[in-house]
Amino acid sequence: MRLTDLLAKASWAHLYGVVIPCGIGSTASLFIGLLTCPTSAELKATIEIGVLAGSTESICFGVALLLGSRPELSRTPAGL
């Protein structure tokens, strides 16, 4: 199912690097996690730490993917 083409200087790695941090879903994870155990303060803290750790890992992976997919810059000055 092909809906569109990528921009001229964009790659699938660029798209994936942007999508990963955007799809964190931390709000939904916190909401569902806190609904499952509303009375235990210890479990609530564990859920919050787990969601925060997963979100941080997702952001780091997306940034690393974007930095790794940068195009090589030409070392010759423009116009030469």
> What span, in angstroms and rounded, lies between the C-alpha atoms of 28 and 21?
15
What burial letters (b/e) apply to 27-50, b meaning 16+ CB within 10 Å? eebbeebeeeeeeeeeebeebeee
Q: What is the pLDDT of residues 27-73, one digit of tens each?
A: 777 778 888 877 888 888 888 888 888 888 888 888 888 888 776 65
Residue 14: its pLDDT value, please? Answer: 80
Q: If pLDDT is split at 50, 70 and 90, which confidence band does 77 have? A: low
As a whole number of angstroms, the distance between CA 65 and CA 26 comes to 20
User: pTM of the full predicted structure?
Assistant: 0.63
7-33 pLDDT tens trace: 777 788 888 787 877 765 777 777 788
- What are the structure tokens assigned to 68, written together? 């790794």
Residue type, 67: L
